[in-house]
Structure formats: C-alpha cells, structure tokens
Chain A
Amino acid sequence: MSKIKHMIGKSIEKPDARDKVTGQALYPGDINLPGQAYMKVLFAERPHAIIQDIDISKAVKLPGVIAVLTAKDVPVNEYGLIMNDQPVLCGPGSKKPFAERVRFIGDQVALIIAESESLTEQAKKMINVEYQDLPVISDAREAKNDHGKLVHPDRESNVFCHYQIRKGDLEKGLHEADVIIEGEYITPVQEHAFLQPEAGIAYIDEEDRVTIMVAGQWTHEDQEQIAHSLDLPPDKIRVIYPAIGGAFGGREDMSVQIDLALAAWHLMKMGIHKPVKTIWSREESIIGHHKRHPYFVKTRWGATHEGKITAAEVELVTDGGAYAYTSTKVMGNATLMCTGPYEIPNVKVDSYAVYTNNIPNGAFRGFGGPQGAFVAECQVNKLAEAINMDPVEIRMRNLLREGSLLSVDTPMPKGVTIDKVVHKCAEKAGWKNTDKGWQAPAISKKNTDIIKHGIGFACSYKNVGFSFGAPESCTAKVELHGKDTIEHAILYHSGADVGQGAHTIFIQFMAELLNLPLEKIHLIASDTARTGQSGSASASRITFMAGNSIVGAVNNALKKWINNERPAIAEYEFRPPKTTPFDPQTGKCQPNFSYGYVAQVVDLEVDTQTGKIKLDKVICVDDVGKAVNPLLVRGQIEGATVQAQGYALMENFIQKEGRTYTPTLSTYLIPTILDIPEQINSIILEEADPIGPLGARGMGEMPFLPFTPAVVAAVHAATGIWFDEFPLTPERVISKLHEKG
C-alpha cells in the first residue's frame, strides 16, 4: 500500500496527453454530429452606431438557409458575467433598452443558420443593416470626465466602477519621506491568442436540455448566462467542455455559447431537430472576445533615506471597453496590487473603470495584477535608485510579512513567504547578503558601443481564488466502488482543464488520498448534467479550490465506506474563509484568503542601434506551497514567462477610433520559439499554505506579474532610461534612446 502514496509531488503523465499527440483529442471544432447545420455571426464591424433596420428577407429566401436570428428572437436580450449590460444581438425589436446600439466592432447583429458553412457566408452578405453612425468614444481618460457622450445612455456616466483606499495619512507620509518619486504609466492591451479559435456545437439532448459543447473556463457560469438569455431554468441548459485549446482568461466571458444555445433552441421551436455548429476564424476571435485591460496611471511614492516606504498615492484609470465583462473584479485586484507586496503605512488609491467603444477588456492571466505590479515595482526600483539603495535591500525593508497590514487595513492571511521568495531569487541571481545589506552582482558581460547589458529585479504577490466578497466555493463528488477494498474510484468535477493540467492534478489528489493506483481513478469532468459547481478555471484557483473539494469529498466518502456503504458516494462543497468588498470610503476589506508569491530576475541585452532587446536569462522563484506535479508547475512558469515576454516586448494591439489594425497573427505578433529567452531557470519553493490542499497554493498567474517591471529595470540598468510605457518594441526603445541623446 505504502508505495502508491507519493502521487503528490510526482510528474505523472497527463491523462489527455496521448490523445493530444495522436490527433485523437476532440476540440469543439472537431466534433461533428449527424445532420448538423452551421451558424455564422454577422458582426457589426463598426464601433458605435444605432441600427435603424435589419432586412433579412433576401437571406432567409436563399435555399439551404434555415433561419436568421436577430435581436427580436432573443427572449432576454442581455448578458454579462458581472452585469447584464451587453445585448446578445444588437438591433431593434427586443425589450432591452438601447439594444439597437452597437458599441464595438465585435458586437453581434445576426445569426445565420444554414445547411452548409458556405451558405451561411453567402446569406450573411444578403443581410442589409441600416446603421446611423455615432461619434466614437475611444479614449478612457476623456470618457471618464465626459458625461455628454455616453456609451450606455441609460447610465449617468461612462465610469462604471470606482474604488478608493484611504489608509493612514497620505500627506503626513509624504512629508516624512526624504525622496518622492512621481510616475505616469501606461500599460497596453493584450490579446490572448489561444491557439484554438472559438467554436462549438449545440443540440437538444435526450432529456430535452439545450446542450452546448464548447471550450470555456466555467461550465456553470456559461449555463447560468445562457439560461438567463433564453429565459429557461438553468437545468434546461447543459454545458459540456471537450478538449480546450488554451484560455488564459479569454474564455471566461461568453463568445459562441449563447449564440449556439439560441440557435439550437430556436430550431427546436421551429420543429427542426438539428445540431448547430460554429467555428470562428482567427479574425473573428480577435475582434470577438475581450482583451487585457490597458491602464493609465498617475502615482507618487515617498521613502526615507533608510529605505522605508512612507506613502503611496495611485490613480488608476482603465478602459473597460464597450461592456463591463469582469472589469470591476480586475479593477479590484489592480487597486490592491498597485501598491505591491509592501507594508506601506499611508496609502491613497483611486481607481476608475470606464466604458468606451473599444473592444471590451476582461480576464487575462493575472487579472489586474500585472498592471498593478508594473506600477508598484517600477516605483520601488526608482525609489531604490533615488536613495542609492540596492533594489533587493529596499524590498527586504518593506515586504509584507506574517501579520502585516495590507493597504486595505487588514492583516495578510497566514503563510506569507514573499521575503523567502525574494531572498532565494536574489541569491540565485548572484546577490550577496552582506553586513551592509543586499548587494547586486557586478555585471560580468562586457558592454560594447552598441550592445548594453543589464539585469533587473521584481517581485509580486497574487491572490488565489475569488476576491472582495465574491461567492467562492467548489464542489466535488466521489464514488468508491468495491467490496472489501476500494477497487476503483470515480471523481465528478466541473473544473476545466484548459491545458494547464487541472485534470491531471485532480487524479493525483484522488490517487494520493485513496492510496489507489492512477488507473483505478476515473474522472468525469466538466458536464453540468453530471458535475457540480466548481467555479472557474481562473484566478490561480483550480488546484487550491478543487484540491480542497476533493480532499473533503474523499474524506466524506471514506466515512461512508467505513460504514459499509457500497458504493460509497459523497459530495463536498469547499468554502474558503470569507472575503469582503472594499468599504466605499476607506477601502477597508478582507480582500483574499490566500496568495502565491513570486520573484524574478531578468538578464538581457539591448542593441542600441536597432532597439532590439534579447533575453539571455530569466530566473523565476515561485512559492507554490506544494508542487503537486513539478513538471506541470514548470510548464506554467515557462508559459507565463513567455506570455509576459510578449506583453513586455512585442505584443502591440493597435486600436484607433474603435477599429483594430491587428486582427491577425501576422499583424499581432506573439513570441515564436526563436524569440524566447536563452534560458528560463524555474525554482520552485514549497512553503505550505496553511489552508491549501496538502499545502498547495495557486500558481498559474504569478510568474506573469513581475516579468515586465523586471525587464524595465534591466533595460534601465543597461541604458539608464526608465520606460513607463510598454511594449518595449525596438521602435519605442530607439525613440527614447534618441531623446536621451
């Protein structure tokens, strides 16, 4: 028996890997059902307009066209993860006020359902939409104060979310400071560019449920939103996830889900029993789903000569785009994280999320954390320079520790390890802890007239799980089968495997807890008809939340097993410690129940003739609590680092007047295998989280956070220039070098 235990901490093979390397794994676009029809979306392709009329008469007469759906065909023409501010289909004829408006280029106007894909395309061209164009609102900073031009006329302002933090006395803190660093920062939009464009297939199942097979991140939230729009009880909707081709937050909001459900349901009402399939092109994917929020930041921080940070003031403005998506939650994180993993006695933060006619912004790995971390880490690195102190040393003097008060005036949850993470990372990169404090290594590589070297340091923390009072729980169901001994076990779980290996982790937990070999564990996953509410595969929460739910369900099932129940079946809903929302005046709250901690050193060179930056080495130290599967952890660190590299250096999403100029993978570039760092050194720390399952913390997002500020610090070390805006494209680098002269 004892030899089986040790499934935790072992890099077992992913159960889906064999299907994926043989081409057998089925992604939503790979699934075909007999008699299926095809669906195509007519997108608005204009950023702001009122639809006067939609004429579908020619399109519906085209032989082979089954139906063309518009706003009037949507029972409840609204949806949204946080607030129902988006029409399913824009146009006249629904009860939703102002639903005849299109507010971004990816707004959907009509759904064309036909016998073949090419027919949907032909019919789409036969739809005549009469638009009255409206002035385009594209600058969040202007839109914040302009109440004359509104994206949503039923609201008083374009600002749809405001938080504030008031801790201590900002003026007093600034007065105590010996140096004050003021900064203005701009962070860019980022596109997820998961490799699998949105796709899915919908049908009516044997129990008359509207069933959608789609790639998402949260089956039950998809179900809920579809049910709302179709005005059906949630149990009449079934959501199933087959293989998912990447997500990174980009599948957290609806894309094809409601469309597909509406189409299959509409056909059923017409007496037509046909599955409906859709696949988006890359261009549709890029205009059709949300992006990472750009941020516009003004800030000033003060510190004493002894390196004590005395005050931080930050104003954050973000462009939410046309609809809220998860902006309010993203902004919560940014509001907390913009002052970094530091205990600062005097803090004032004001943050605003603003509607514009740009593509909506929403969840993307880090969820407001990278934007906040960029501000905080750049400020700390600049303070260190101003007081002539080592960047590691200044951090050591201010880092959050056990019992530290956050900016929101409540103590950190137990298990704070950011100091250990920083220590380890500094050591690995050659820093020395001397009696005069931490000292950076001398740069060994020789600069030439053209090539300049530099290293940079940054560290971050990121919450695990939902924050600020959002309902948070995760359900697992376990069945134990056998007579005298457990012969096999079944786990029912909704948690989405978006590629990160969640299902591998689930099976490892089961095997460890039940002391069973892997092949005796069966997983039934991500099907709302069979698996319970798990919450999303996001917020670095799945290992933590699902792990805890599996621990609970196994314990309950084992109790029943001991009581001779056969099979022993138990369900368990894990609820972590409660969080609370920002106080509207002071911001005081208990924001999170768990965090992960990370530090990075980036070693790079700058070609001062072209502005090109080459990454030599990245060291990433990440406290994951317990590495359930070390190779999967490394995969997350490397993947997050390279995604962050794209964000920091290359990925330049261009929108002007609400139109995008980068709707393809040849105009919007992500890193190729030739662009990545020569070396990524992933160092995994295992400081148990007191409430993590077997000590595990979340970790999927964390390595993304410190990367950009570490790059900026390294480029500063190489060139003497601080970059307050990125991506650091060669052109941006050269233009700053020229300014400097």
Chain B
Amino acid sequence: MSTHKITVKINGGLEQVEVPSNMSLLSMLREKLALTGVKNGCAAGECGACTIMMNGEPVNSCMVLAVEADGAELVTVEGLTTEGKLDAIQEALIDKNAVQCGFCTPGILISANALLTRNPNPSETEIREALVGNLCRCTGYIRIIEAVKAAVEMHKEEA
C-alpha cells in the first residue's frame, strides 16, 4: 500500500506528515499529530464528534482520507483558542453548562463556530439545523442552543 507525504496547515502551523492511503483524516489528527481533542464516536459520519474545519468548512474528519488534506487548511478544537484566550463559543458553552461528558463538545464547537462565521446572527431554527449532525447524549441540547445564542450576543458586544 502506498504512503503519501502531505503538508497541512493545522491550527495555524505547518505540518508534514506521511500517511498511508487508507488512513482517515481523523486517524491522522489523533495518531500522527496527537490532536486527541478530535473525537472518534462512530467513524461513519453519524455522530459528528470528529468534526473539524477543512478549508473554512466543517467536515466529518472520519469521512475524509488524510491524503486528501494535502495542502488544506485545518482547524480542530485545539485551534479555537488564541494565545490561551477562549473563543466566545467556548466561553458560552462553559457558562451555560452545555458541557456534560464533553465527548461531543469538540465537534459541537466546530459546527457552532462555522455557523457563526457564515451567519453571525442565526435564528434558533438555523442553530438547530447547523448542529443536527452533532449528537449529544447528555445535555438534551437545550443548554447547547442557549450557549450558541449567548455566543451571538458576546460577538455583538465585542463588535
């Protein structure tokens, strides 16, 4: 089986990685780059725990081959924090107790962050639609919706 040397821009830095053809982007992030914030909940595109940003859009990293990411710009949950300062959506999830076991949280954060980037003032329906691919078994989602709304307000105050 062939392997490929690829270069990715990840959370702001450049990384060169050698990956076999059959390695998923999820496995590469967790196993080659030690970005274990990216979670594996099903490896079948069903739970959303592995959601990351790839070239500005959220994707299930289990549904992407690592080799496809050659030249791509990636952001994982680890990349949401800038110089130790949490992003508004991270603060909001803490404030609203939208984090219970926390295993879905990295994926939720990426999906929510992507939503707020493309739509800074989403309706509740738009929030729900954007997060439908992120399963959470603990919270019942209500606090998560509250948190996204709070992050919208925090962004408004900053602006």
Contacts and interface: CB of A to CB of B under 8 A. Distances in A.
Direct contact of A and B (CB under 8 A): yes
Contact of A195 (B47, B76, B80): B47
A522 interface: no
Contacts of B145: 673
B64 interface: no
Interface centre among A25, A631, A641 (most CB of B within 10 A): A25
| Contact-size category for A | 35 or more
A695 interface: no
Contacts of B14: none
B97 A14 contact: yes
Contacts of B133: 672
Nearest to A703: B140
A618 to B, nearest CB: 10
A244 to B, nearest CB: 6
A674 B127 CA distance: 9
Interface in B128-143: 128-129, 131-143
Contacts of A32: 34
A11 interface: yes
Nearest to A199: B40
A639 B94 contact: no
Interface string A7-28: 0000101101110111111110
Nearest to B78: A23
Interface string B37-51: 111111110110100
Interface of B is mostly: loop
Interface string A186-215: 000000111111000000000000000000
A245 B139 contact: no
Contacts, number: 169
B90 A21 contact: yes
A279 interface: yes
Contacts of B142: 634, 638, 642, 676, 680
A664 B41 CA distance: 11
B41 to A, nearest CB: 5
A498 interface: yes
Nearest to A27: B103
A674 B132 contact: yes
B101 A246 contact: yes
A635 B143 contact: yes
A11 B95 CA distance: 9
Contacts of A25: 102
Interface string B73-91: 0001110110000100010
Interface stretch (B2-10, B53-61, B104-112): B104-112
B121 interface: no
Given A26-B36, A634-B97, A673-B131, A21 B137 contact: no
Given A193-B137, A665-B135, A673-B128, A22 B37 contact: yes
A29 B42 CA distance: 13
B138 A246 contact: yes
Given A282-B43, A673-B141, A673-B144, A195 B136 contact: yes
A30 interface: yes
A117 to B, nearest CB: 9
22 contacts: A13-B94, A16-B102, A18-B86, A22-B86, A23-B35, A23-B38, A27-B39, A192-B137, A195-B41, A195-B47, A195-B136, A196-B39, A246-B100, A246-B103, A499-B100, A499-B102, A631-B96, A635-B140, A639-B138, A665-B135, A666-B44, A676-B142
Interface of A: 11, 13-14, 16-18, 20-27, 29-30, 32, 192-197, 243-248, 279, 281-282, 498-501, 631-632, 634-635, 638-643, 664-666, 670-674, 676, 680
Given A639-B100, A680-B142, 20 more contacts: A17-B93, A21-B90, A22-B81, A23-B38, A24-B37, A27-B39, A193-B135, A194-B103, A195-B103, A195-B135, A195-B137, A243-B101, A248-B137, A498-B101, A499-B102, A501-B97, A631-B96, A665-B47, A670-B137, A676-B142
